[in-house]
A and B are shown apart, each in its own frame.
Chain A
Amino acid sequence: MSATVMLFDPTAPQVAATATGSVQLTSLAGAVIGFIDNAKPNFHHLVDDLADIFTQRYGVSRVIKQRKSSASIPADPAVIAEMAKACDLVITGSGD
């Protein structure tokens, strides 16, 4: 029987994303939808089309669009706070 050795795992458990205080929407009718545009070219075209669909097909009351200055930086905390206050649902994403 060959000798054994104790070895370490070099990785660390990754922190899972947690959804705290989230509220499930049962309907989009009358809801306020927010978009955080990551500033990649063309994302705003996608957002414009989605906003039309949300409004015309699902009765969304208002769409709020906020654009970051760059995809590689987080949204301004003040923008996040404002969106959290004003919106029932916020969509972030990447378009290119």
Chain B
Amino acid sequence: MLDPQIIFAGVLNGLLAGGIYVLVAVGLTLIYGVLHIINFAHGSLLMLAMYAVFFLWRLIGIDPYVALPVVIAGAFVFGFVLYRLVIGRFSHGRDENILLITLGLSIVIDNVALLFFGGDTQTIDVPYAGSFVELGAAFLPLPKLISFGASLLICAILGLYMAKSDTGKAIRAVAKERQGARLVGIDVDNIFAISYGIGIACLGAAACLLMPSYYVTPTSGHAFVLVAFTIVVLGGMGSFIGAAVGGFIIGITEALGGLFLGEQLGQIGISLIFILILLLKPTGLFGSKA
């Protein structure tokens, strides 16, 4: 049996990782909740945003945290335009067709990245990268702590925005009843594009928060895509609270899986959870209807 202190540290680290997962998953679940499309390009877009953060730092020397507003805004615009130019035109018909289109997009994005950025692993060397905070037996990397707090803060702001702002209300109206929303004069297509943009903006934020403690390669998206889907399915497709709770559960599962089963086999927990949820309770923990 493992030392409870090690388990405690593992749980804490899992929670910290979960904080970022929440942000990634919130974007995915928002896109699903409003547009009813499964955005398979989610991981690839995150990877792209991570490269943006990397190059901002490498070329202009902007600290990832300072870059937050810029990258969030840029990601929003990118998502908005991507929806208008590509996804929106095809986001009808059979749902697996949209899945295939976003798969196609992810193939394009991954390989464009490989073509232009090369296959090397890139990291950002910020001065605080090696700082730790001691909490009981656990040493928590400072960047992970910061990203955890910032991630939750951003989610809270987003939640507030969805609840209070006119756009947020319109988005929720469209998510609930798109025909009805159209009837009361909401520009539904515009709301779709905005929602997609916000979903990608979440990735922008996640990228800024990830880079100080993580690395990026053109395949970085792969590592996140199944994780993000698992969180969203676990929490319930389209549910914000579900994405938050799911993010933490998956973060901890991953950490403990690694601890008990080792680096390789430890990854199996996420896929197994994904399969079991789909087989046993496809609506997830907080979902209404699949």
**Pairing of A with B:** no
